[in-house]
Structure 1
Amino acid sequence: MKKHILTLLILVFTLTSCNLFQPKENTNSTATFDEEAVTYKYSIAEDEKEYVLSIPVISLDEQEELEFTNIYSLNPLQQPEGSIGLVSSNLYQNDGIALEVKDLLYDIARYGFGFYQLTAQGAEKLADLGNALDLQEEDFTYYHGDIYQPLNHDDPQEVKWYLATQLLIWEQLLNPETEEAFDIQFEIDVSQEKAEIQYLLDHASDLEPDFGGSIQTLNDKDIDEEKIFSFTDSNQTLHNYSLHVEPGIDLISNEEYTLETRVTKEAESLEITFAPLYELPNQDSYYFSSVKNYGYFSIGNDRMAQRLKKLTFKLYNPIANIKLHINTSDVTNNTVHLAGAKYQISQDIDFKYATDSTESTASEFARFENLSPGNYYLRQVQAPEGYVLNQEEPQQINIEAGISEKTIPFMVSPEMTPSE
């Protein structure tokens, strides 16, 4: 896994150091380094130089300063001071780095920056209020600090999450002098924080609702019969997400991590989207660079919104052109074909939605047309003259996909005469 990540990210450092990561659209920005702010020393293996991390405040032209807790260096060899000019652009509108690489860096920054989940009290209040906006701070458990406010980077304890995040980002880059991954150590021990962030990265899917699949197929009959679909979240994280249900889907219930839904209109695709209740301080993700190989990035809600968990309902109507022939014959002589028999077929055993066959004649079997592949129940509703109507349990039939017609036998018994 590590080698795979590094292979992807060879491109990151090469493009950053050569200033080839060109934005489609850019604006001017400024990074300011407070000389009075606390800095953090680190060392790079096989490099005798002492390095210092200064955490910048970056401002865009005529815009408010970005939250500096959410800005990370892309070059551990850079040592800027004072104030530097940068070119900034949306991180995800650049073509210089592969999308999977950007997403890896994004996820490291996302889980390192912090997030929150509902407490039991918060989940109960949300169920009663029905609106996450009515929840209070005490209704959440915070991870890696309070994400609503900038962490205190002058506090050696609070800054550990930031430094661990920065270290994980740097470890994805290749040192151009050794052509190996950077081996960096801060003077402050951040091994525990780093391990916890890595755990979240490795188990990110456990934090999302898991219904055993993301696509539910249905057909016109499911809509007509108002079929109810049930989905259970095996990860039991559903309470940490708000649900956005497209028109055409009825959310019947959402209790104990189980959703019950039905689709009420025909559409090629309908979705339920699951959005995390927490958000990052900034809306957009940015990339900052300069000709002196200074590089930074910052993440926002834009990419998170594009990667939301979804449950998709897809309309699928298989070709319904299969014919089913019923060969009605005497139980004592199956070579005799009988006229006057009629049948019903249904996909439910109660025959609530049944289809009638044609009546068998001397030259043709009873017949159903335009059937789709699937499992059916068959019963006789009219017996040939002189024969007893078969009232046994409905016969189960499977119509296989890929066939155009199928014939099955159906035996009937002759009526008993008084002399018999």
Structure 2
Amino acid sequence: MQTFFTEDQLEDPGIARANEILRACVHCGMCTATCPSYQVLGDELDSPRGRIYLIKEMVEQDRPADERTVTHIDRCLSCLACMTTCPSGVHYMHLVDHARAHIEKTYRRPFMDRWLRRVLAWVIPHPGRFRLALRAATLGRPFRALMPDRRLRAMLDMAPDRLPQPSPGDRPQVFAVAGRKKRVALLTGCAQQVLDTDINAATVRLLTRLGVEVVVPEGMGCCGALTHHMGREADAHASAAANIRAFMAEARGQGLDAIVINTSGCGTTVKDYGHMFRTDALAEDAATVSALTKDITEFLTELGIPEADMGMRVAYHSACSLQHGQKVKDAPKDLLRRAGFEVVEPVDSHLCCGSAGTYNLMQPEISAELKARKVATLEARAPEVIAAGNIGCMVQIGSATAVPVVHTVELLDWALGGPKPAKLGG
């Protein structure tokens, strides 16, 4: 794609990166075949190619975002399936992130949009606030029909009936082991701490059983993904900077062999810290953190696990942030097979389930269509259990099926000596 940025514009690192990405696009349109929003809406402007044209026009002309552009950018799930499909290597993730930051700076949203986005950014990254908000949502359900905004109704619908008690295992501490083989830091997540404490517990049990010392670092918090995808750069960078300092304190102290993440949406963001801070004083530390970061299934593949024979049929849902964002596709399935599970995959496994961070709250109609499609294809494989590697996907899919939905690491922990996952009646 031909671009016409001025030399002054290209002095801005964000514009320079956008220029590189835009020039890589050859307009082939292969991305439209795997774009979930285009599959649902059928509008070229709701495809990656269409959004690229909108972004180019907006940033090249250095003009404020308009309602039309914002509407189509907001409908993007950031599933990154287009990056897997693209034959030209267009790094759409960095481009749409830049566009969202530009929108946040230049566009004044309607009041309800501004209010909802601020509330989500203030609540979800903080487990205490999020827990209180979910409890309030259950109390508000009797008044659902009175809610004037479909997004408020979606928020009430997504709140679980019950929440687990806060886990002491998510607090800063060290899970020491005798005869330590490796030492890792575990990102415990923010929403995950509230919605499903079994995931981190299973991760710690499994790793320590395999001789890995696990540290939950002091000062670690939200990865910044939620606010980053809203274009709230200052908030996202503040969260990321705190994590970089927390991880590097451990790396410079007793050392780290890896930073292990069991929520793939977080993993994609942390692996991108090096890019986010490339012009910052934390650039070197951020690059180190990104290089150390591994999804739990990547780390377990490198570590090696014993064989088992579970004999259960598992439908594996590949989270977009894992298969497209991190390019981790085979490790989870190979580990489950090594543990003795029969692994099956749904048709169109590359398509998003519609969760996508806060997408199911902010774009409930599109999200509901994608959820229905995903659940239908998973149930068509007649599984005894559905496994996934991202809490958002688990909540989204679990809200529409009677088949138990568990994290991949919970099944691996069970196969290798841990307790049966509670969702399976254990």
Q: TM-score range by the shorter chain?
A: under 0.3
Higher strand share: 1
TM-score (norm 2): 0.23
